[in-house]
Structure 1
Amino acid sequence: MAATISDIARKAGVSLATVSRVINKSPAVSDKSKKKVESAIKELNYIPSAYARGLSRNQSNIIGVIVPEISNPFFSEVIDGISSVADRQGLNVLLFNTDENIEKEARAMRILQEYRIRGLIITPVTGNNEYDKKYVEMFENMNLPIVLVDRNIKNSNFDGVYFDDKAALYKITSLLIENGHKDIALLAGNPNHVIAQKRIEGYQDAFEAADIKPYPQNILAGDFTIESAYQLTKHLILTHRIPTAFIGMTNMLSMGCLKALSEFNIAIPEEVAFIGYDRLAMHDILHLNLTLVEKDAVDMGRKAAGLLIDKINGKSTSSNRFILMPELLMRGSEKYPLRNPNERTFTEK
């Protein structure tokens, strides 16, 4: 059984309060008592509880991080950036995954409050009804520094780091139109999410600027999973004309779309064009020469952690927001296809 501070107190012959002061590095302890306690801690191999220490100080050296999809490489890289900055500041990271579930998000926030965290970095769950006053108050009632990552919360004034998703989708849709495409499918994820709404707006604005009407069936709405994108792409191939180009609005959606295209042996860029939003290591490993929008997720994490630490240290009192522009990597998959896949017959596999 692990040693407790009561065991330390008995071994050192001092009070519990003295042990607590030594653990919390309080100067109000004599050198003699301090040596007794430190000797007992070493002999009993006692490991102090960060949770208990946080309660006694009403503050810990922990920052909370909440993400919606820890398996997504994008968020893994964001966490890497956050951790690199936190480590240099002597802060520990307590991580929670919500699976895009608002109840799990609320539970994670309650647990983090119990740990007396110094601040919170969060990519919030978003949807139809979450942006009411009660949802915003849930964050405000934490009474600690909060930095949002990748997704904003309407009607709030929190610090945040975001990519200009609308401008990025406008840019890549315009690029496809410039290459002769008018029939462009967008794997759109959940259209109730603000991040999806911004990207869909960018897609639609590019068509409007070119005075072209997009086909309604080409906005493929579901959720943000690989399976959703896979099924939506398959359905489009089997029930409609195949567009000349596809846009994967996230790395997961790109993977699902590419899986379906591969299953039907539809070649990129010979038969369809493709642009992905977010880079994946898989693209390089499989030597897929895809035109991609690359977001520096590690840098986003670093910037979010820097904002949070400034808030914690009182260096920033106003609301600060970084709007980052992703980089477009041109690799040729945006070109107009050489042959028409609609001349082939496709059946369910």
Structure 2
Amino acid sequence: MEEFAEVSGISRPTVSKYFHDPDSVRKTTRSKIESALEQYDYRPNIFAMNQNRKATKTIGIVVPYLADPFFAEIVRKIERLCIEAGFWPIVFSAHGERSLENDALATLQSLRPIGALIAPLGRSSDFESVQQFAEEVPTVVFDSNVNVGAAFVGSDNFQSIGLMVDYLCRTGEPPCFFEMPPVNPNANKRRDAYRQAMERLGHQPQVIQVEGSGWEFERIGLEEGMRLISERSLPSDSILCSNDRLAIGLLAAAYQKGLRVGHGPGCALRIAGHDDHPWSRFTCPPLTTVSQDYTAIAERSVEMLFELIAGGAPPARRREVLFDGKLVLRASA
């Protein structure tokens, strides 16, 4: 920047002021700087500049598995909101691994972010590392309610699962619940919500926990679904899956086993999920599910982080915001 200031004939403090806020310098000066930028093809090193700032414009976003379209969609919305507000979002994926989540948090912290929006792995997270990060960086947690940070934004799993159980019981045989060993707190809440809803309606809960670990939900749904169908061990012809990705695998298993899925004559199974995953409308048949409000979760998470950044100090009590799900009726149930 010193070299650029010298060759452009503009003082170093004025150049620095321009990069901090272009509107803070006079219009004629701004035009001169922008002409020089084009002539000399100069780009400031934002990360180097951050080392000299008390407050940067960097906002970190950490998710467990960016290849999952659910997280990709939420991150897309969060990124745009941050950019429109004049911040620089940087995205990290933990790829489903504790060590990579720790590395992402450590790398992000070294960039001196002004704040962070994180969806922790959950069950496999190193809680102490996540907690330490959230104590040192203003943090809002979304999707996976690990008890760290100043606030959490997510879905009300008891409301959304209850909504789906009510519908399935009204329209056919009461559902069993299809899950794998939980990877985050949402899975536990959904199972508990299913049991609560079934008991409220006077039905016996029937939980099927299949084998499998990690984030390959579709593969687990396919392989374990084929096994259960072959063994004729499904306790109900209505199946509520813990998430849409498991349901997508189970739909494929039913197809390979020659079972028609849907609601009506000739259908052997009804299959429903949770999340309104971006792919759920394109399955065959399209998947009945409960939608998470992607837009509301993203907007409220960013809004709360901006409030936290502006306020300077974390609130006395951790805040939680939960959004209701909406029933999305499609052909699978």
TM-score for both structures, normalised by structure 1: 0.80
> Do 2:139 and 2:151's aligned partners in 1 also have CA atoms closer than 8 Å?
yes
1:300 to 275, 297, 300: 297
Give CA deviations for 1:94-124 in whole Å, capped at 9, x if unaligned: 0011112121111111211222211100101
Unaligned runs of 5+ in 2: none
Match of 2:131 among 115, 128, 137: 137
When residues 137 and 329 of structure 1 are mapped into structure 2, their CA distance, relative to the original with a 3 A threshold, is: closer
Residues in 1 aligned to 2:143 and 2:300: alpha-carbon distance in whole angstroms: 12
Aligned residue type for 1:181? E
Q: Which among 94, 101, 106 is matched to residue 97 of structure 2?
A: 101
Structure 1, unaligned runs of 5 or more: 335-349
Q: Is the 8 A contact 1:136 1:153 kept in 2?
A: no
- Who is 1:208 aligned against? 199
RMSD: 3.4
Tell which deviates more after alignment, 237-246 or 285-294.
285-294
1:276 aligns with 2:239: no
Shift of 1:219: 2.9
2:232 corresponds to: 240
Residues 228-287 of structure 1, C-alpha deviation per residue, up to 9 Å, x if partnerless? 221111121122334302222223212211121121121112110111212244443456
Q: Is the 8 A contact 2:109 2:137 kept in 1?
A: no
Q: Distance in 2 between matches of 1:139 and 1:111?
A: 11
Alpha-carbon deviation of 1:203?
1.5
Shift of 1:317: 4.7
Q: Which residue of 2 aligns with 1:227?
A: 219
Is 1:325 aligned with 2:324? yes
**1:182-226 deviation per Cα after TM superposition (whole angstroms, max 9, x unaligned):** 46241x24325211100110112223334443445x233534421
Q: CA 1:256 to 1:153, structure 2 compared with 1: closer, same or farther past 3 Å?
A: same
Larger Rg: 1
Aligned counterpart, 2:306: 309
Query: 154, 159, 169: which is aligned to 2:161?
Result: 169
Question: Could you tell me which residue of structure 2 aligns to residue 265 of structure 1?
Answer: 258
User: What is the CA–CA distance in structure 1 between the aligned matches of 2:105 and 2:41, rounded to whole Å?
Assistant: 32
The farther-off stretch of 81-90 and 12-21 is 12-21
SS at match of 2:301: helix
Structure 1 pair 202–15 and aligned structure 2 pair: CA distance change class (3 A) = same
Correspondence for 1:253: 246
2:63 counterpart of 1:73:
no
Q: Cα distance 1:161–1:168, how it changes in 2: closer, same or farther (>3 A)? A: same
Structure 1 contact 268–274 (Cα < 8 Å) conserved? yes
- 1:290 corresponds, among 277, 287, 290, to 287
- The residue type equivalent to 1:76 in the other structure is A
CA-to-aligned-CA distance 1:110-160 (integer Å, 9 cap, x gap):
2112222111001011116744xx24532334x222111111113x45211
Give, in whole Å, the separation in 2 of the partners of 1:227 and 1:320. 36
1:110 to 98, 106, 109: 106
Counterparts of 2:20 and 2:280, CA distance in 1: 49
Q: Deviations over 1:59-117 (max 9, x none)?
A: 32121111112122221221122123212211121001111212111111121122221
After superposition, the Cα gap between the structure-2 partners of 1:80 and 1:271, relative to the gap in structure 1 and judged at 3 Å, is: same
The size of the alignment, in residue pairs, is 324
Aligned twin of 1:90: 86
Does 1:190 pair with 2:187?
A: no
What is the deviation of 1:36? 9.0
Q: Deviations over 1:152-174 (max 9, x none)?
A: 113x4521111011332233224
* CA–CA distance in structure 2, aligned partners of residues 200 and 55 of structure 1: 46
> Structure 1 residues 153 and 181, CA, compared in 2 at 3 Å: closer, same or farther?
same
**C-alpha separation in 2, matches of 1:283 and 1:140:** 34
Q: Distance in 2 between matches of 1:39 and 1:204?
A: 66
Please, what TM-score do these two structures have when normalized by structure 2? 0.83
